[in-house]
Amino acid sequence: GQNIDQPTEMTATEGAIVQINCTYQTSGFNGLFWYQQHAGEAPTFLSYNVLDGLEEKGRFSSFLSRSKGYSYLLLKELQMKDSASYLCAVVDSNYQLIWGAGTKLIIKP
């Protein structure tokens, strides 16, 4: 079966750095997305990785290792508004999007 694993919940301090991991076992791979979702709202796009390596976009970076079936989202200089759920999603060989259950990130002052 297809599976995406993310930690259920993480806590971090304002101003710090946090890394949210995502591991996947899917039938094929055609890219990996990270989305942010605030409580009660729609998910919004953060990043897309299809090649190995690090993609940096302001305070957020996303890393991919296809051989290890692993990605992480790195959030720097955390702000209170970063409190949200972070969703990892993989495009499989049939171009279906497989979603993880999401990681709830709690930021403390």
Residues that bind other proteins (CB under 8 A): 8, 30-31, 33, 35, 40-45, 48, 50, 87, 89, 91, 95-97, 99-102
Would you say 48 or 70 has its CB closer to other proteins? 48
Question: CB 43 → other proteins: shortest distance, Å?
Answer: 5
Angle value at C-alpha 1, between 52 and 48, nearest 5 degrees: 30
Nearer to other proteins, 41 or 77 (CB): 41
CB of 107 to other proteins, least distance (A): 21
* Pairwise CA distance, residues 80 & 84, whole Å: 9
Which residue, 40 or 109, is less far from other proteins as judged by CB? Answer: 40
Longest CA–CA span in the chain (Å) reads: 43
**Minimum distance, C-beta of residue 42 to other proteins, in the bound complex (Å):** 4
The DSSP result for 2-47, as a single string, is -EEE--SEEEEETTS-EEEEEEEE-SS-S-EEEEEE-TTS--EEEE
